[in-house]
Amino acid sequence: MLRLKNKLKLLAALGLGFGGVLNGNWAIAEELVTGPPVGTRLPTVHCYANSRPLNGRKFDAAQAIGHGSGAFLFIHHMSQNGMIVARALDELTAEYGILGFKSFTIYLSGDRASAEKRLTISKASLNLNNPIVVGLDGLDGPVNLDLNRKCSQSLLMIQNSRVIKSIALTDIGKQDRKLLRRLIEELTGPLPSDTEDYLDLVRKKLPTDPKAMRELVLKQGMELHRVNYELKKALKGIPKYRSRKLASRMTPLTVAPQRGNKKPLQSPDTSPSVKP
């Protein structure tokens, strides 16, 4: 009798669970929420940079973005896929920087010394234009931003010193690049597709102050160096590129003379012949 009651309880529990699935009430895959309500004014975001261009300086990332458009990518859990997202945001920031877009990727940690050491190790491999900085507001991040430490990263889109959108990133990777581009263009608008229109935009946006112009040239030089490095690394994985480099090192084939031949046999000429 006792066994029968236990079986009935088990069947009832399974039935309730199955019914919950049918009704869409399965609560295992909970959707995470992060960030403050839309329109929240940015508080001070204390950061420390242990690499260029702000090496050794404490600064307010919110003040650095100012009243323009930008983004904060808060890293709660360091991972390889997370670095893919950080690199994508860095590259897109360089691309849309001409429209005034700025961003900071901020690593939140309760141990500043450990965080600095970890970023120093990853800095060389990432080769970012605007390296990751250490957040000085603890694991929970800046006050009033309501960041959720359960997600891998918290992405905050910013305009006029206010939070426009907050997104909890969990299953992160290369697929988030399209999302980042769309979110940036919602703030800045798209870049001109026509070359002449793009050049006109660049001419209008060029700074007149010599110091600011120098900084811009340095940043563009760093970006060009990074792009060349990435291009060379990508080309190494292409078989045609490898075989072309190998062929350029080879000397023309000369076959040893055979019996009865006065001259050595040359490799056949494969170039197209032209008849008069």
Instruction: Give the angle 117-119-125 at the CA atoms, nearest 5°.
Output: 120
In the numeric block, the tokens 């010599």 are attached to 210
Query: Can you give the length of the chain in residues?
Result: 276
pTM over 0.85: no
Other CB atoms within 10 A of residue 235 CB? 13
The predicted-structure confidence for 119-157, as pLDDT tens digits, reads as follows: 887 765 577 888 899 999 999 999 899 999 999 999 999
- Does the pLDDT at position 195 exceed 50? yes
pLDDT at 65: 94
Other CB atoms within 10 A of residue 128 CB? 21
pLDDT at 243: 54
Q: Which CATH number fits domain 46-191: 3.30.460.80, 3.40.50.880, 3.40.50.1100, 3.40.30.10?
A: 3.40.30.10
C-alpha 257/C-alpha 137 separation (Å) is 79
